[in-house]
């Protein structure tokens, strides 16, 4: 029988594979992107960007039940994108104070990454075209 090998964590040549998206995503980003993943919720944000509205008004505009709209507004509120205020029996929705800077920065970092990769691909294609022309 061969010699026992040290545990994987003790080996010097170990290469760790990191899933950067899992490692660096913050719960706030998760909540924002989950909230923004639904077309109705994006529509609610657009509507509230124009004017504050009650949940009843939003439900009517989006042809939904009050319960359905309350759930959508709850997701937006949990993400900090909407805040609600109850006056009497009316719950009014307003845009939250979050401006999505962190989300925009995350998207921009990936846009830059992909732009660099496409630039590299363009250079490779140009080089292949040059070689093809010279080789006839």
pLDDT tens for 82-119 read: 999 998 999 999 999 888 888 999 899 999 999 999 99
- pLDDT tens for 54-92 read 999 999 999 999 999 999 999 999 999 999 999 899 999
Is the CB of residue 80 less than 8 Å from the CB of residue 98?
yes
Give 8-34 pLDDT, tens digit per residue.
Answer: 555 444 444 545 555 555 788 889 999
What order do you get walking across the sheet with 90-95 strand by strand?
Answer: 53-54, 90-95, 82-87
- Other Cβ atoms less than 10 A from the Cβ of 69: the count is 22
pTM: 0.67
Element (H, E) at 117: helix 101-135
């Amino acid at each position: 029988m061969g010699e026992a090998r040290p545990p994987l964590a003790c080996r010097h040549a170990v290469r760790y594979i990191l899933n950067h998206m899992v490692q660096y995503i913050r719960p706030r980003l998760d909540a924002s992107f989950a909230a923004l993943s639904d077309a109705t919720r994006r529509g609610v944000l657009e509507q509230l960007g124009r004017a504050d509205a009650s949940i009843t008004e939003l439900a009517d505009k989006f042809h939904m039940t009050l319960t359905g709209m309350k759930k959508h507004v709850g997701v937006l509120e949990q993400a900090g994108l909407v805040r609600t205020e109850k006056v009497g029996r009316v719950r009014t929705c307003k845009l939250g104070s979050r401006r999505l800077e962190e989300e925009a920065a995350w998207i921009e970092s990936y846009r830059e990454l992909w732009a660099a990769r496409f630039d590299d691909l363009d250079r490779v294609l140009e080089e292949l075209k040059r070689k093809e022309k010279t080789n006839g």
